[in-house]
């Protein structure tokens, strides 16, 4: 079969990430890596963080996109809900590409805020909430950011091996 005659697997097709000009993997078919307990922990920690950010916003704090107006919280819920409902039937494509892209952007914003705080000291409202939520979960703020990236990476990996490598990197 010639290179131009190969079939395309829709589960790993590159699709544009809206508004970025970048390409984004739509996901892969199969059961996600990690145990149910690990997924519940990751989802709970990040959900708690995103809810806390939403709370400080309702109290008057100004959050950067995509954390503002609960956008990242809604996207996080959309991409993680299928895993918690029925992990045996999960495919990365169960989540909308836009929601996956929003979770990716949230991870970048959280990580950037934390890095900026390390370099210049102090921190903004995002870092304050990250630190407070990390204390609640008895972990470092870096771990909360990594949980967001871990879930995103596991759901958008091309194959089970790649998803496992992404998942295990946080514990390794």
110 with 152: CB under 8 angstroms?
A: no
Reading the block at residue 46, the tokens are 């990040």
Residue 85 has what pLDDT?
80
What Cα–Cα distance (Å) separates residue 15 from each residue in 9, 18, 54?
12, 9, 30
Residue 96 has what pLDDT?
80
| C-alpha to C-alpha distance for 85 and 100, rounded to whole angstroms | 18
Query: Is pLDDT of 3 > 80?
Result: no
Backbone φ and ψ of 16, nearest 5°: -65, 140
pTM flag (> 0.85): no
Reading the block at residue 102, the tokens are 């929003």
* 156 CB neighbour count, 10 Å cutoff: 25
Query: Is pLDDT of 13 > 50?
Result: no
Condensed to tens digits (0 to 9), the pLDDT of residues 58-112 reads 999 999 999 999 999 999 999 988 878 876 655 555 568 899 999 999 999 999 9
Residue 21 has what pLDDT?
40
Confidence category of residue 32, pLDDT binned at 50, 70, 90 = confident
Condensed to tens digits (0 to 9), the pLDDT of residues 116-141 reads 999 998 889 999 999 999 999 999 99
In the chain, domain spans: 33-169
Residue 124 has what pLDDT?
94
């Amino acid at each position: 079969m010639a290179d131009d005659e190969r079939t395309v697997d829709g589960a790993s097709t590159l699709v544009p990430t809206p508004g970025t000009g970048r390409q984004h993997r739509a996901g892969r078919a199969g059961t996600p890596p990690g145990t149910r307990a690990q997924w519940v922990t990751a989802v709970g920690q990040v959900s708690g963080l995103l809810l806390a950010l939403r709370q400080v916003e309702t109290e008057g704090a100004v959050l950067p996109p995509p954390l503002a107006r609960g956008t990242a919280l809604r996207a996080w819920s959309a991409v993680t809900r299928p895993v918690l409902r029925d992990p045996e039937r999960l495919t990365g494509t169960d989540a909308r590409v836009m929601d996956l892209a929003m979770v990716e952007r949230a991870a970048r914003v959280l990580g950037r805020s934390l890095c900026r705080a390390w370099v210049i000291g102090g921190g903004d409202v995002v870092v304050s909430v990250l630190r407070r939520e990390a204390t609640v979960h008895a972990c470092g703020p870096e771990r909360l950011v990594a949980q967001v990236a871990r879930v995103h990476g596991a759901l958008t990996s091309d194959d089970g091996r790649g998803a496992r490598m992404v998942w295990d990197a946080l514990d390794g």
